[in-house]
Structure 1
């Protein structure tokens, strides 16, 4: 790393902190702190959501999957097939309910619909799973920042985690969103710069395509992943991806919080619409970067020697340090830092919001809630940094490891909300039983009982088990009348579909286009 590289990195970090300090002005309540006073523009919220999902996990993990992971390649594009349809389901079924109830924590819905124990248990599950996942992801990214900068690993954990904690604690949701917008632009610039240099080093498009194993350019694996040993089966991505995306964008606090920060239901729908449109082209950029850098890897012995065996995620960091010129190298390291912080800040803000709203707020006076919110954010940030210092490396491939953890939880979590919104007979104790059994089944599959089942199917197994358990157990209990606005009947659903029909038709048509592009990329 040259002096110019360090100047670029320092300037980026200073700009992030300065922006956060500026945005911290004018905050007077938890509503301002956690949902930006519900006045934030839809396009900024969409870019923030896109930046969070397209984080360092994607910047580093997707190119590594395409270039080096056994059984990988362009088949990762199958992961994107169901995103547009998921956006439609969220925009029509879930988000309007949460917006109408003016929630800050999405788990407030569970108390309004069922009871307080259901809310607290599932909020606690979210806090545990998201806190652990954020600490693991922080460590994984810090290892790669260590490769790029040469700094000690502990320093990298503290820099990535510490800067995120400071600007998130000061600025709340406003800081998260506007720094994510800046980070999104930096990430795209970094991907394009890195890909252009890799393409030049490899000799152009034709030599790149010629260098790679043809199987890595196959975008579709025509398999189901149920006992067939497929590494990236199409139907596993279709079924599991639909459940995962509805759950992640629809009932995960780290994502729903942005929808709650929009001005109106219509603005939140526009946010989902833009995210549904933009994510696939961005994933194509990541995949293209993997193809180009993968060709350089095969052509250059030095890069092959530098990347440790069994550590494909080191590909992009070593490529940056070895082949990019001074200044551009600093820009790309700043892009990795941006990608890392864009996901950490959202997780941290959502952890703080759920803790404050679900557990702390009933016990303190309104005048103390804003200060308490900042202290809770700082607490979670410190805890995650400490955990990141000691967690160790838990996954061979970052992007797959993070998504496997999500696949354990997302199905059962989604079941709780779907049963609440769609089934008037659903009861809180039955929901808890369903979530517990769905999670136990998924853990059994994770520990080897379903060794022949592709991991994306865990999203489906968790959902199905939890829904069936909830429906059956609820009918063994006395019926109760749900609170107004917490259950969606047929008439309300038809009204929402009529109001959002253009949104729905457009995204479904776009989903068909994505499917056609992915199939067209298949070389077999």
Structure 2
């Protein structure tokens, strides 16, 4: 849960042209993605004892692969976090009248400070508090909006029927940039597996757990709880969108090309002052949570990268100093990116997922090769990754009609195909020194069957619930 979700998901549903409840299809693949994460990828990562998940790639494949994937991750993650800071700065500027530069400076400096002092523990505790604030904030906005409209019956009858469509059956996202079912299911599956298992900002939370059992519980809880929260985002967006469509004065406040302003202007115009303060705290805290997580993960990855090249701090105290300096460095770079993020998509939540989709498929391909493919080689893996990434960047630049959610699946398949084909054509290379063995305790088959059946049933349930909303 982040500031971008709080602000931009309702804007996509309630105000963006061509938006609506299609955003719910983003959640359809989450439960199934958690199965691959918890049973295939996370066990070897956890038992390897690594801090940076990219250290695992060095031990399974080679140093150059680790450096290539790590560098790509750090650049994309810093850019994506910069988009988040950019969006939050615009909102604070609009609502509080604070100049844009001062807004993003304040967000960045405060967040870097508690990341600087607290590390991953501060991030985890802050996330828990901020999640409660965000959910409460959404409930306040939804209840207030429905009250202003005149009740549930008036609200539901006033919603534009086009915005109630959840599943887009008429497009596949191949020649038109639409949120169709196929790319949302297949691309979404790859995106979420890679996000939760191969993105350091998320994987560090799982790797800090006490046991693999705790990780599985965390992932199952995530699979079950994401959809209700997303549904809350969406219904809130519909309600505020009804107010915007029926109130020209309110609609005039929102820049025509910036639907992301819908939520903050609703808070400012329609809620009591005390509630406004609470919700601004929720937005700010969620933004700082995302930034602090990114800063901590980036500094951890950089330290491990330096160690792989033989650059070590002499003692723990100096390593702590280095970690804090790197946190400052990455925080400054994220701040720089936020100044030049620009317009990538109609809403910020689309922009940040679009940036990630260029990388997530190829990165997942490399991790699957590291875990499952015995004939892996450094050269074949690196070429496979670069092939998948470069093809996605080509699609971004020259094929705008191809929906960006497809990039996740395409990048994965190209990376796997090229890497496996090249490794079969070459002699088997010895693994890097310090290779992590994948001898792990087997999970009881009954547990695997039970969890798989449960999450599959839950997937079907959320699809049926979503489709029933269209016909309600």
What TM-score, normalized to structure 2?
0.95
Candidates 110, 133, 137, aligned match of 1:186: 133
- What is the Cα deviation at residue 493 of structure 1? 9.5
Give yes or no for contact 2:191–2:357 (8 Å, CA) kept in 1.
yes
Candidates 237, 247, 260, aligned match of 1:300: 247
Candidates 377, 380, 383, aligned match of 1:427: 377
- What is the Cα deviation at residue 509 of structure 1? 2.0
Give yes or no for contact 1:442–1:458 (8 Å, CA) kept in 2.
yes
What is the total number of aligned residue pairs between the two structures? 468
Candidates 399, 415, 418, aligned match of 1:469: 418
Candidates 458, 465, 472, aligned match of 1:517: 465
Aligned to 1:506: 454
Q: After alignment, is 202-211 or 69-78 more displaced?
A: 202-211
Aligned mates of 1:279, 1:509 — CA distance in 2: 15
CA deviation string 1:461-491 (max 9, x = no partner): 11111110100111122214557975769xx
Aligned mates of 1:335, 1:322 — CA distance in 2: 17
Structure 2 CA distance for partners of 1:500 and 1:141, relative to 1, 3 Å: same
Give yes or no for contact 2:62–2:431 (8 Å, CA) kept in 1.
no
Stretches of structure 1 lacking an aligned partner (at least 5 in a row):
1-53
- What is the Cα deviation at residue 495 of structure 1? 4.6
Structure 2 CA distance for partners of 1:445 and 1:63, relative to 1, 3 Å: same
Aligned to 2:393: 443
Say if 2:40 is the partner of 1:93: yes
CA deviation string 1:295-346 (max 9, x = no partner): 1111212111101111111111111111111110111111111221121111
Say if 2:404 is the partner of 1:458: no
- Equivalences for residues 79-478 of structure 1 within 5 A: 79-227=26-174, 229=176, 231-360=178-307, 362-363=310-311, 364-367=313-316, 368-449=318-399, 451-478=400-427
Q: After alignment, is 163-172 or 391-400 more displaced?
A: 391-400
Q: After alignment, is 76-85 or 208-217 more displaced?
A: 208-217
Stretches of structure 2 lacking an aligned partner (at least 5 in a row):
none
- What is the Cα deviation at residue 225 of structure 1? 2.1
SS at match of 1:107: helix
Aligned mates of 1:224, 1:396 — CA distance in 2: 20
Aligned to 1:31: none
Aligned mates of 1:99, 1:320 — CA distance in 2: 42
Aligned to 2:428: 479
CA RMSD of aligned residues (A): 1.9
Aligned mates of 1:502, 1:485 — CA distance in 2: 33
Aligned mates of 1:504, 1:294 — CA distance in 2: 38
Aligned to 1:50: none
What TM-score, normalized to structure 1?
0.86
Structure 2 CA distance for partners of 1:397 and 1:507, relative to 1, 3 Å: same
Structure 2 CA distance for partners of 1:220 and 1:393, relative to 1, 3 Å: closer
* Divergent runs of 4+, >6 A: none
Give yes or no for contact 1:165–1:382 (8 Å, CA) kept in 2.
no
- Equivalences for residues 47-86 of structure 1 within 5 A: 54-86=1-33
Aligned mates of 1:376, 1:222 — CA distance in 2: 47
Give yes or no for contact 2:59–2:435 (8 Å, CA) kept in 1.
no
Aligned mates of 2:344, 2:115 — CA distance in 1: 26
Structure 2 CA distance for partners of 1:227 and 1:262, relative to 1, 3 Å: closer
Aligned mates of 1:205, 1:508 — CA distance in 2: 32
Give yes or no for contact 2:171–2:178 (8 Å, CA) kept in 1.
no
- What is the Cα deviation at residue 371 of structure 1? 2.0
